[in-house]
Amino acid sequence: MKYSILVDAYDRIESTTKRLEMRDLLADLFKKAPAKLLAEIVYLTQGKLYPDYLGIELGIAEKLLVRALSTASGKPVETVKSSYRKTGDLGETAEKLLGQRAQQTLTRRPLKVEDVYAVFDKIACEAGTGSVEAKIRLLCSLLNDATPREAKYIVRMALGRLRLGVADMTILESLALAYVGDVEAKEQLERAYNLSSDLGLIARTVASEGLGGVLKLKASVGRPIRPMLAERLSDAAEILVKLAGKAAAEYKYDGLRIQAHLKPGSVLLFSRRLENITEQFPDVVGYLKESIRLENAIVEGECVAIDPNTGDMLPFQMISQRRGRKHEVERMTGEVPVKIFLFDLLYADGEDFTVKPYPQRRAALSEAVAESDWVEISRQLLTSNPQEIENYLMEAVSDGCEGLMLKSVGPNSIYQAGARGWLWIKYKRAYRSEMADTVDLVVVGAFHGRGRRGGGYGALLLAAYDEENDMFRTVCKCGSGFTDKDLEELPRRLRPLELPHRHSRVDSRLEADVWFTPGLVLEVTGDEITLSPVHTACFDVVRKGSGLAVRFPRFTGNYRLDKSPEDANTTGEILEMYRSQLKKITT
């Protein structure tokens, strides 16, 4: 197929802003294309060579293109640059300068779409020494064969700025029109696209096998599935109504969503935006290989940074450090350990699970996964009771989660790839209370350390003072902020206070590994004060069944040796902090 046919269509598409007109122009173009070339045409029309998830980019720098244009047009580099400054678009400059070529190659063989695609493909594959020169040579050969109008799009494509602005959905509609003769068929094409994330594949299939062929497309290991998204509501009762009275309430972990594709000998990880992030999480690859008992599978989960000493979840900012630092993977993997909480199974050994109701997917997931310190299945509570949801929300937040995900468990609760719908509803707190100040808390217990802290304390159980009842009531488990020196010093300070059981003035719902006579006071900061069913400070005061806690506590480094335990912050002060700083969550 002649490249000029594509270029004619591009010119027309470029000159319209109306979506429907664009759709019809594209449908006309697709009808003219041979089925075996349609995938390439779809990619080229989007300014790509492959589906995004393969991460293959043309990667031609502007400087390089200027050089190629200079050679192809026979004009000095300066002339190319000055024209570019005027037009602001190197594509237009190419059209103009090549139009002035002394010898317009009348005898030239018309460029074919296949040739253009093949040359771009070669350019994308070039790497290493000599690749710059090779790329320039390839580009020049293409530009030599191109008409000025073709050169405009070749240059734009090479720069990654095709600027036609055709959305995925427009392409799907155009394919439906061209090959099914009915725009409505876009729905089925879209479902197949959501399962494969590959528009070229859909185009080639519908063109060669019709709608029937598209309907047969299934989820497949290696092709990311576009993620299912959630709606949002802020009332537990209302959520239950939406979910027909019954829901799977799950912890909404605050981390990075990962879709893992497993086959014998290989694991691929995709981000929520379907980028291939396998190399950034070699640890997760290893954990999943160990834990998943299926040969071929696609699972989804949330990766969360973990404090290696306590096993506690850390805030989102920690795991975000693991992204985007390709050269530092090894160091970051050691510094920020992560755990994956799996929440869905989309494909297992030849079977497409996206069409099965959620309880079936979850049951199969539980069966397939051997849980470990680093791989867990998302915590879940099946419930029909709004109060239970409220309590579970508090538990989730005090465990370091963002809130809850409430999921339909009805017969239609399929995995809606690529869609935001009411089968999943997120439920976060309406308010948060920021901590403006540090607090001084009393050490009342400790938990054994793991990993580097094995043999010592991993985290301390801290309490505020309840003046009225002369009791110490817990507000957090703190494992962060301690330096190596602190870790040496703490046992020295705490050992003399050790007790074989909980001190009678300590009120705790947690069972510590070691108990202390209240004595040592530490200064602590945190993200906020939250409701918590686990901690006993101000229990039942703000809400029945819960106390107040410091979320994500960190030791500041200050031992308040000047303070007696009764001088620590009081539970009344913690309550005051909670009340005075309630801020509506707007995100």
Contact call for residues 347 and 296 (beta carbons, < 8 A) = yes
Q: Which helix (H) or strand (E) holds 251?
A: strand 247-252
Residue 376 binds ligand AMP (CB under 6 A): no
Strand partners, 260: 269, 299
Q: Which of 75, 135, 186, 252 is catalytic?
A: 252
CB of 453 to ligand AMP, least distance (A): 28
Contacts of 332 (CB under 8 A, 6+ apart): 321, 322, 325
| CB contact at 8 A, 404 and 427 | yes
In a 13 Å sphere around the CA of 58, the CA atoms on its Cβ side amount to 30
In the bound state with ligand AMP, the residue whose beta carbon lies nearer, of 302 and 466, is 302
Report in angstroms the alpha-carbon separations of 81 from 62, 135, 282: 10, 19, 44
Please, what is the minimum distance in Å from the beta carbon of residue 302 to ligand AMP? 4
- Based on the shown chain and the rule CB under 6 A, indicate whether residue 312 belongs to the binding site for ligand AMP: no
Q: How far is the CB of 230 from ligand AMP (least distance, A)?
A: 5
Shortest reach from residue 219's CB to ligand AMP, in Å: 18
Per-residue contact flags (x/-) with ligand AMP for residues 333 to 352, judged by CB under 6 A: ----------x---------
- List the structure tokens of 352: 């497409």
Cβ within 8 Å of residue 586, ≥6 positions away: none
Strands 521-525 and 498-499: unpaired
- Token pair 């492959």 in the structure block, residue: 50
Triad 191, 195, 197: Cα angle to 5°: 105
Which residue, 343 or 552, has its beta carbon nearer to ligand AMP? 343
**What does the per-residue mask of binding to ligand AMP show for 204-233, with x meaning CB under 6 A?**
--------------------------x---
The candidate with the shortest Cα–Cα distance to 170, out of 183, 157, 153, is: 183
**How many Å separate Cα 522 from the centre of its chain?**
37
| CB 383 within 8 Å of CB 394 | no
* Interface positions, 405-424, toward ligand AMP (CB under 6 A): 405
**Residue placing its CB nearer to ligand AMP in the complex, 41 or 346:** 346
Give min distance, CB of 379 to ligand AMP, in A: 8
Applying CB under 6 A, which of residues 52, 95, 198, 250 lies at the interface with ligand AMP?
250
Residue 252 engages ligand AMP in binding (rule: CB under 6 A)? yes
What is the distance between the alpha carbons of residues 102 and 124, in angstroms, rounded to a whole number?
A: 31
Q: Does 150 bind ligand AMP (CB under 6 A)?
A: no
Is residue 252 annotated as a catalytic residue, yes or no? yes
Closest among 29, 57, 23, 28 to 41, alpha carbons compared = 29
Minimum gap (Å) between residue 447 Cβ and ligand AMP: 25
User: Which residue of 145, 302, 307, 440 would you call a contact of ligand AMP, by CB under 6 A?
Assistant: 302
Answer yes or no whether residue 426 interacts with ligand AMP by CB under 6 A: yes
Q: Is 432 in the site for ligand AMP (CB under 6 A)?
A: no
Query: Shortest distance, CB of residue 33 to ligand AMP, whole angstroms?
Result: 36
Decide if 26 contacts 170 (C-beta within 8 A): yes
Q: Which of 134, 230 has the CB closer to ligand AMP? A: 230
From the list 158-166, 247-255, 261-269, 543-551, the region that binds ligand AMP by CB under 6 A is 247-255
Size of the site for ligand AMP (CB under 6 A): 12
**Given 3-state DSSP classes, what are the helix, strand and coil percentages for the chain, each rounded to the nearest 5?**
40, 25, 35
Residue 122: phi and psi, rounded to 5, are: -65, -45
User: Of 67-75, 251-259, 305-313, 502-510, which segment contacts ligand AMP by CB under 6 A?
Assistant: 251-259
CB of 302 or CB of 523, closer to ligand AMP = 302
Give the integer Cα–Cα distance in Å for 462 and 67. Answer: 66
For 121, residues 6+ apart whose C-beta sits below 8 A from its C-beta are 49
Q: Which stretch binds ligand AMP (CB under 6 A): 130-138, 155-163, 248-256, 531-539?
A: 248-256
Closest separation in Å from C-beta 299 to ligand AMP:
12
Torsion, Cα 478 480 486 492, to 10 degrees, reads 30
Could you say whether residue 272 binds ligand AMP (CB under 6 A)? yes
Question: With contact defined as beta carbons under 8 Å apart, do 305 and 336 qualify?
Answer: yes
Q: Pick the stretch among 123-131, 137-145, 249-257, 558-566 that binds ligand AMP (CB under 6 A).
A: 249-257
The correct pick among 242, 257, 450, 493 for binding ligand AMP (CB under 6 A) is 257
- Which residues in this chain contact ligand AMP in the complex, by CB under 6 A? 230, 250-253, 257, 272, 302, 343, 378, 405, 426
Q: Which residues are catalytic?
A: 252
